Structure 1
Amino acid sequence: MNPLHVRIGHIKFTNALPICHFLDKSDPEIEFIPGAPSDLNKWLAEGSVDAGLCSSLAYAELAEDFVALRGLSVSARGPVGSIFFFSKRPWEELNGAVIALPVISKSSSNLLKILLAETGITPAEYITLPSDDLPAMLEQADAALLIADDALYWSVQEHGCHLYDLGEEWNKRTGHSMTFAVCAVPKRLIEENPEKVRKIHRFFLEGKKKGLADMDAVIAQAMRMLGQTEEFWRTYFNKLRHDLDEEWAVGANAYFDAAYRHGLLKKPVKLELWGDEE
């Protein structure tokens, strides 16, 4: 195999469109492998892909062997607009509740556990369910977490629930930004083939540069995927940031610290950035 052949894990969620919509898929040396975030997390861990946007908590679990590429993330400082907690009861009345978590989530599910614990809420049980049908989830639970496109869809439907944006809740309670996904690559690959990693980094950064320069095209693609109006998507994308530097790492590290404190990570972790944005 060509030493510069690259296997990219590709998440087809709208929140990654500013990075991924303009990625050059015509390069014969770059192979795209689509999947849900949970798939990407698994593939990175087992080495089936060379790089990809993965959940920040999955990165933290692999941090001993992985770095995060500078300048690439799905983050927010306040409301994120696509990580929603739908509850039949007000937040403060959820002691003893059954909470449904989506199969595809890791960072957001654990963020919810942290926020509930730190506000003195002890659910009776967490259950994991498919997240494409909110009413079905709420038949089995008192509240349900949805992420990404499922969250976007159900947030604008009639649902009769108390609605909480987890990016907003995290920022309100801690003052920090929240990084939901990073672009991870194994340290082993940097040691063995640094040029390949530089190629991956340039590839993603160029996609992001083109996406942020032509948000009209990104919004048009989001409308093709999920409907809604141009104004809806412009408001949504304005809440997101796709950068990652030392400033954003402060929020990511605060999240990792909280995850460790609540037993969701086995050891303390700090975000390790690699590369530059030039």
Structure 2
Amino acid sequence: MQKSLRVGQILYTNVLPVYYYFDQPKFEDRIQFIRQVPAQLNQAMAAGEIDLGPISSFSYAEHASQYVALADLSVSAKGRVGSLFLFSKKPIEQLNGAKIAFTNTSATTVNLLKIILLKFYDYEISYVTQEPVLEEMLLGADAALLIGDDAIQAKRNSHNLHVYDLGELWHQFTGYSMTFAIWALRKAAIADHHDLIAEVHASFLDSKRKTKENPAPLIDYVHTHFGGEKEEWVRYFQGLQHDFGDVQRIGLEYYYRCAAELGLLAAPTTVDLWQAGGRQTKTTLTR
């Protein structure tokens, strides 16, 4: 009997528009959902324990020879993200030589901050990786990086701290959109699950469309389960992009070039897209 398709889901609210209206009963026992934070999903995908799902954009680049990306799906923003924050005891202009605590749940954002501080600010920084608990992270560091719902919760109580949105900083220096996660598909899974992958992809796109047309149920859901004001969640989801077109691709591939320039990646990477009908297209960077 052919095994089920293993589908990842990030344990953060930022992917919910792609999953909220996903037609799970339609697939019954044909797919298995695996819900983890990005760093865990990155590892599971690389180990072949997940067939498709959202992973850190940086992890896609590290394993690009093994993956393609599902077309028109991402977690991106052009400017403010609202869930990727650097919390600092002093202004960012005074962080040269500082020690920064990184969350252990991220790859893309950790390296994005390195690019911003090393390339754009020309700082020398030391780093430590910790569990995403802001108070503990700041005990021995000048600043701390949090992502996802950990960052959203911490922002509500970040009194007397300087808070910087990494999407805003990236856009300020580059003018580009930034893509933090893309829905990766292991090439090895395509032959066994080709038609099912197309169905799952279509259901993701349908959920994204329905959420955009009628966001109120999703806003009610996150307000009930994650707290905060509804207006806060409306602004948050309005700032996120779940598409992956030329705007997102160009920004992401520039990020890959910056990462390679700093030695964070072995080489610049392009993104291969898997279309709903199974057709693959290779992107190229234009500036």
TM-score bracket for this pair, using the shorter chain length: over 0.9
Match of 2:129 in 1: 128
**More relative contact order in 1 or in 2 (CA 8 Å, sep 6+)?**
1
CA shift for structure 1 position 250: 0.3
Is 1:176 matched up with 2:179? no
CA shift for structure 1 position 188: 2.4
The farther-off stretch of 109-118 and 152-161 is: 152-161
- Identical residues among aligned pairs (%): 41
8 A Cα contact 2:257 2:267, kept in partner: no
1:106-140 residue CA offsets vs partner (Å, 9 max, x unmatched): 000000000000111111x2001111x21111111
Structure 1 pair 24–12 and aligned structure 2 pair: CA distance change class (3 A)? farther
CA shift for structure 1 position 199: 2.3
Measured in 2, the distance between the counterparts of 1:28 and 1:192 equals 16
CA shift for structure 1 position 193: 4.0
Deviating 4+ runs (over 3 angstroms): none
Match of 2:140 in 1: 140
The aligned runs of 1:114-125 (5 Å cut-off) are 114-118=115-119, 119-123=121-125, 125=126
Flag structure 2 segments of 5+ consecutive residues without an equivalent.
278-287
8 A Cα contact 2:75 2:241, kept in partner: yes
CA shift for structure 1 position 203: 2.6
Match of 1:93 in 2: 94
SS in 1 for 2:29: coil
TM-score by length of 2: 0.91
8 A Cα contact 1:92 1:121, kept in partner: no
The farther-off stretch of 97-106 and 25-34 is: 25-34
Task: Specify the code of the residue in structure 1 equivalent to 2:12.
Answer: F
User: How many pairs are equivalent?
Assistant: 275
The farther-off stretch of 183-192 and 146-155 is: 183-192
SS in 1 for 2:138: helix
Match of 1:203 in 2: 203
8 A Cα contact 1:51 1:200, kept in partner: no
Superposed CA RMSD in Å reads 1.6
Match of 2:59 in 1: 58
Match of 1:35 in 2: 36
CA shift for structure 1 position 209: 2.1
Task: Specify the code of the residue in structure 1 equivalent to 2:157.
Answer: Q
TM-score by length of 1: 0.94
Flag structure 1 segments of 5+ consecutive residues without an equivalent.
none
The aligned runs of 1:1-278 (5 Å cut-off) are 1-2=1-2, 5-26=4-25, 27-118=28-119, 119-123=121-125, 125-131=126-132, 133-276=133-276
SS in 2 for 1:80: coil
